[in-house]
Each structure stands twice: as structure tokens, then as C-alpha cells.
Amino acid sequence: MLSFIHTADIHLDAPLVSLSSVYEQRQYDFRLTMSRIRDLVISKQVDFWLIAGDLLEYHGGTRATALFLRDLFASVDPVPVCIAPGNHDPWMEDSFYQTIEWPANVFFFTGEWGVYEFPEKSCVIYGWGFPQAHVPESPLDRFPGRLDGYQHHLMVLHGTVLTSEPTEHQPYAPLQLSDLAKTGVNYVALGHIHKPMQFPHPTKGTPFAAYPGSPEGLTVKEQGPRAVLFGQVDEAGQVRLTPIPVQSRQILRVEWQASGVETVDALLARLQEDLREIDSDSLLYLTLTGERASHLIPPLELIRGQLQRFFYLHLEDETWPDIDEDKLLTDYGILGRWIKKLRDIEETATDVRERETARLARQEATKRIGGMLR
């Protein structure tokens, strides 16, 4: 039985512009997560540690972090650490990958396909790394072919598996699953997409390729537990994948309904109670939503003060007042004319985007008017 830990998209020393107030602590969190992954490599006694790109930022990455990685990888020796650079950490001449001395158990893939043989494990690991930040073509066009005489074949690759689902990521190093299958490897350790995804073999239907997702969330889109993959390959070449959470903190997005409260004190009390079970170490992205009493404008600064127990809080107010628009149109002069104008635009718009813009503008207008009415 062959085993490995597969991770990708750690983005050490990423700028994290929106988290400037907690930047240094978050950078430390990312290093703690890497140490936690290292501990799994040791405790699971795996044969390989596979890292599929975007490990250390090329732009902004520090020598101190590179030396941290050097020492971390040395601590798992003799376990091979196989790294395929990605678009954020390409194999550039002046990158830390080429300018510091790495331990003998660290194997880098470059802009030319690499093939590392491990006869004692009857395993070959194939890989390719970004030579620069932008690679529009598939690296599989230049795959040299599978070596004979080995029982296990693994691949480490940073790129975009093309599917029918829309993606916000640019299709750098685009990959067809059918082309990956033609390589004849048992498993492809992928990086680039931060959402965990697994792909069955197109003909065999068994686990074949996977994105583990980022092991530590970078943005609000990467909420909840973050994991690495513990992989096992049996004698028949069948792959079993087990996600193992490793994050230092979770990013959580919460929409909280503000309806039904009449006073600031009631709002604060209910909000505190509803958030009581959320770990204070979390990065909380909280949105107040729903129809509220028109006389009650959520006091955002006061709410922030009451929720200081959270490591990080991003707060938005998307509530709207319970205003009778028809009454507003007849009783409130210029305010009513403002609402009527937006309603007319919404009702007569022939363009879908214009209609949606008018609807949102009307909702924002009633939100602002609500605080003016008593």
C-alpha cells in the first residue's frame, strides 16, 4: 500500500489586503497550518508529500518564509516532498526555489516535464511546473509518456481541469480529464482551484484526480473547514482519498435576519444569542438582512463593539425598512417622487440589467428613507 499527503494553494505570504488589521497573525496562522500538515506526514507515515503549486508567493514572498519551509521539509526527511510550482510561485531564475539550498528530500518540477523514480517504493512521480505566471496551453501536449517497470504512477500538476461548470479562475494550463487519463497514471495531485473537487477516472469510475482546496481560507469564498487529502493506493492501483481538516481558523459567512426586533437592545441581545455557538477564533463575515422596523437603524459601530470577541469581523447592513410604499408615494412629497421614479424605471425597463439596477436602487432608497420616518 502506497500513501501520500496531497496539498496545494497555501499561498504563504499572500498580501491579504482586506485583512490588514490582522495580517501578521494570519501569516502566522498559515505557517501553523503548514506545520500541522507536516505533522500529518509524520504521524501517517506516508511515502510522499505532494504539493501542487502556489505554495510561496513569488511576488511578496519573504526569505524568512522560504527558510521556514526549508527547515519544515527537512524535518520529514527521508519522506520525499514533491513540488510542482504554480502561477503564483513559478519556477523563475530569481525565485527562492532556485536561490536557496533545499534539503535532499525536496524535489521540484520545472517548466520541462520531470520524472522522479523511487525504485524502493516501485513508484514514479511525474510533474510539471509553471515557468512563468501565465501559461495558456496544456502542458499535457508535451508529456513524455509513462515509464515501464513500476507498479505505482503519480502525477503532481498545477492547472485547470476544464469542466462544464463556470469558474472564476482563468484557465491557466488547461487540462482535459480525458487527456489526464491517457497518461496512464494512478492519481493526479492537482492545484489551482481552491474549492475541493474530486474527479473519477472517465472509464474506470474510480478516484483519479483531485483538488484538495486551500488548506487555510484566504477569502470569504473559502469558508468552513479546510483540508488536505490523505491518499492510499493499493496493489491493484485503486486510489482511496480521505480529507483531513488542518485549518488554523475557519472563515464563516452568516446572514442574520433582523426582522421582529423593535429596539437596539433587543437586536443586540438576540444577535449575541444567535452567534453564541460560533468559535471566537473565526473570521466572521456577518450580514444583517431581512425586513426591519423602519424606526430601527442597526447601529453598526455598536454591534462591532459588542462582537469584539471574534478574531476578525466584517459587518454589512443589508436590511430594509417595513415601509408602505404606496403610502410613501402619496404622503411624503419628494421622497415619494423619488421612489415613484425608480418604480417607473423598473416597470418600463426592457433591459434585464437596467430593471435589476432600478430594483436595487429602490431597495436602497427605501432603506435610507426608513431612518428618516417616525
Query: Can you count the helices (H) and strands (E) in the chain?
Result: 9, 19
- The answer, yes or no, to whether residue 325 has pLDDT greater than 60, is no
Written as nine digits, the cell of 186 is 494512478
Cα 106 from chain centroid (whole Å): 25
pLDDT tier, 282 (very low <50, low <70, confident <90, very high otherwise): very high
pLDDT tier, 138 (very low <50, low <70, confident <90, very high otherwise): very high
Three-state helix/strand/coil letters over 48-92: EEEECCCCECCCCCCHHHHHHHHHHHHCCCCCCEEECCCCCCCCC
Reported as a single tens digit per residue, the pLDDT across 3-50 is 999 999 999 999 998 899 999 999 999 999 999 999 999 999 999 999
Average the pLDDT over 63-88 and give the result.
98
What pLDDT is recorded for position 347?
84
- The answer, yes or no, to whether residue 57 has pLDDT greater than 60, is yes
What pLDDT is recorded for position 366?
66
Average the pLDDT over 315-321 and give the result.
89
What pLDDT is recorded for position 327?
58
Average the pLDDT over 241-266 and give the result.
95
- The span from the CA of 32 to the CA of 264, in Å, is 40
**Which residue has better confidence, 166 or 223?**
223
Percent of the chain residues topping a pLDDT of 90: 78
Residue 132's CB is within 10 A of a number of other CB atoms, namely 11
What pLDDT is recorded for position 374?
44
Domains of the chain: 2-245 (3.60.21.10), 251-370 (no CATH)
